Structure 1
Amino acid sequence: MPEGMANRTVAPPAGLPARPAGQRGVFVNLYGLLTATLVFCAAAHANALELKPFKDDLFAYPAILSSEGAYTVVDYRELRDINARDKVPERRAQAQYVDTSVRKVQQDLLLKTGAGTIRHVAVGRTQGAGIIVLYLHGQGGSRKQGVDDFTFGGNFNRIKNLMAGNGGLYLSPDFSDFGDTGAAQIAALIDHYAERSPDAKIFVACGSMGGALCWKLAARKNAGGRIDGLLLLGSLWDESFFSSPAFKRRVPVFFGQGSKDPVFPVENQEAFFRSIQAKSKTYPTRFVRFETGTHGTPIRMTDWRGTLNWMLSKAP
């Protein structure tokens, strides 16, 4: 080696520290590895699933009254969002809001598990799905509620079409109760389909009292380590979430709540949302308040595609 070369430095790419010439080979290898890693991460991000549109113009939020960070207030008006949207108010949406051809990939199934027999409706790919969404009904509901094409302004028809059109799977199950037995049954259902679609991101949407199951699933070791997002629609809160496997994994949580919900007061759900933010300012959570909306409003009005695409971008 020529005299002086041992202490001479070689200029690296901008932003990286200089290295002695004797370490040049090591530096080049490390730089190449770093570059390859960045390219791989960028490619992975670019290839992340993003749901394609389905009737976005019809299901877009009518107006945003205010928006502050992760908290949004949406304008809701019964005359416009129920009476004008439905052919028969609260019973049958106008034809332009639905596409019933999705029924071709809809099945009413029975799954026998150690937790019991689970009747459920599956829409889309039961194997090799890229995304799985479950809807858990509230008190007095059944698996049929989550696949009714015409109620709730056609919003269930939209999630069915979004899953079928994006290589996904939508599940609407029956379950025994809103306690440990019901949670065990839903966990078994998730396990079954997760094994058949090992690369799928899994999101659980819970309407009203179904939220009790959302929180119980988050707390279970297996389910809490497997689900990738929770949607609480006109639902309840549970402080035990902060000690759950799902919270530790930073699973995204979406809250949709009517400002005049007589069952679960919006102030309580807002307080719980704020408590999540207080635990971690960067925790992935969003709250949409439907001004003047009541108990069932979030099920009718929540933008499935916008919410799920946000969750896909934040899923652990």
Structure 2
Amino acid sequence: MTSFCRRPGRLIRAVLIAAAALLSSPAPVAAFELAPFKDGLFAYPGILAMDDNGYRMVVDYQEKRDIHQRDEVPEKKVRGAYVDLSPRRVQREAVLETLFGSVRHMTVGRTKGARLITIYLHGQGGNRLQGVNDYTFGGNFNRIKNLMVRNGGLYLSPDVSNFGDMGAAQIAVLIRHYREASPGAPVIIACGSMGGALCWKLADRPDISPLLGGILLLGSMWQNDFRNVAAIHLRVPILIGHGSQDRVFPVGAVESFHRKVRKAFPGYPIRFVRFETGSHGTPIRMIDWRDAINWMLSARG
């Protein structure tokens, strides 16, 4: 993968990032843990290997068990035990007007005074409704909605107009808009597939990177020029979930990226969760949102 944007000189960037960190509103609140919600159903079904002091994990994935036994209608409707529809009471459709165009999005939870903000950015062919569908992807979007609502947080699922500079500019405005209404709330950006292009663009913005509490890449892409990414220098935690049989972004290239970051920045909080035999969409179905977010919050401090 190539880098996603041009960069000014290192000194100018350092000044911009430092200034943004100071002016981005009060310092983040102390780290907290998301309370359990259906952990017995959504926890990883088995750990096959744990390497690199816990920074690399291999999770057992079986299509028969994790799709056909879990879903009432495979890949379309999960069984009822995995779903709690109470977040629908605080789920709204909204439009944010920006200089870069309108951003249609779904909000779930506190739009003001949230303790935590999680944003899901869909990939090619997706839309804002994908991230709030209670029944697809094994009910995993229903779980993140419940985790945010039950822990005083806000969940956002916007339409992505494109995966270039315009799309990143729109999402940056969306982040700043809701972050201003929830000063101090860490912002977790979770990006599926091509949504990762936006994750990396946002991670490199001096106005956004200091606000980030974590970056979650789900069947997504790496960044060759990671040494110059603003969020990397701020040591923003990164968690990568990837299927071992992903045919869109080869698992070997993603694992290589993980190793390179760990080598270039010893002790960097970047975790790799490999779903053995999983395909491109497996991480969205199988990621343990609570485990992932709690790890990022504790690693960010």
Q: What is residue 140 of structure 1 aligned with on the other side?
A: 125
Contact kept? 1:224, 1:244, Cα under 8 Å? no
Match of 1:54 among 37, 55, 64: 37
User: Which one of 148, 152, 155 corresponds to residue 170 of structure 1?
Assistant: 155
Distance in 2 separating the partners of 1:96 and 1:248: 42
Q: Report how far residue 239 of structure 1 moved.
A: 1.8
- Partner residue of 2:15? none
Residue of 37, 50, 58 corresponding to 1:67: 50
1:275 corresponds in structure 2 to 260
What are the equivalent positions in structure 2 for 1:1-316 lying under 5 Å apart?
48-68=31-51, 69=53, 70-315=55-300
Q: CA deviation at 1:225?
A: 2.3
Q: Which has the larger radius of gyration?
A: 1
Using structure 2 for the length normalisation, give the TM-score.
0.89
When structure 1 is superposed on structure 2, of 73-82 and 107-116 the one drifting more is 107-116
Alignment CA distance shift 1:47-1:236 (3 Å): closer
In the alignment, residue 65 of structure 1 is paired with which amino acid? L
**1:288 and 1:156 mapped to 2: Cα distance?**
18
Counterpart code for 1:226: L
CA distance in 2, matches of 1:86, 1:176: 31
Cα distance between partner residues in 2 of 1:105 and 1:49: 22
Q: Which runs of 5 or more structure 2 residues have no equivalent in the other structure?
A: 1-28
* Post-superposition offset of 1:278: 0.7
TM-fit CA distance, 1:176:
1.3
Judge conservation of contact 1:76–1:290 (CA < 8 Å) in 2: yes
Q: What SS class does the counterpart of residue 273 from structure 1 fall into?
A: helix
CA distance in 1, matches of 2:287, 2:74: 18
Q: What is the TM-score with the length of structure 1 in the denominator?
A: 0.84
Partner-residue secondary structure (3-state), 1:228? strand
For structure 1, list consecutive stretches of 5 or more residues without a partner in the other structure.
1-45
SS at match of 2:107: strand
Work out the CA distance in 1 between the residues paired with 2:76 and 2:64.
15
Structure 2 CA distance for aligned equivalents of residues 110 and 242 of structure 1: 35
Q: What is the deviation of 1:195?
A: 0.3
Q: CA deviation at 1:47?
A: 5.7
Q: Sequence identity of aligned pairs in percent?
A: 59
Structure 2 distance, partners of 1:235, 1:51, is: 25
Shift of 1:114: 1.9
Runs of 4 or more, structure 1, over 3 Å off, are none
CA separation in 2, counterparts of 1:114 and 1:213?
18
SS at match of 1:123: strand
Q: Which amino acid aligns with 1:63?
A: G
Q: CA deviation at 1:240?
A: 2.6
Measure, in 2, the Cα distance between the counterparts of 1:172 and 1:144: 7
Contact map agreement 2:122 2:160 (CA 8 A) in 1? no
SS in structure 2 at match of 1:293: coil
Distance 1:140 1:238 in 2: 22
> For residue 15 of structure 1, what is the aligned residue in structure 2?
none
1:242-268 Cα shifts (integer Å, max 9, x gaps): 212111100000000000001000000
Q: Is the 8 A contact 2:115 2:182 kept in 1?
A: yes
Partner amino acid, structure 1, of 2:168: A
Conserved? CA contact 2:242–2:273, under 8 Å: yes
After superposition, what is the alpha-carbon deviation per residue over 1:202-227, rounded to whole angstroms, capped at 9, x for unaligned?
A: 00000000000000001111112222
Between Structure 1 and Structure 2, how many residues are aligned? 273
Rounded Cα–Cα distance in structure 2 between residues aligned with 1:96 and 1:86: 10
CA RMSD between the two structures: 1.5
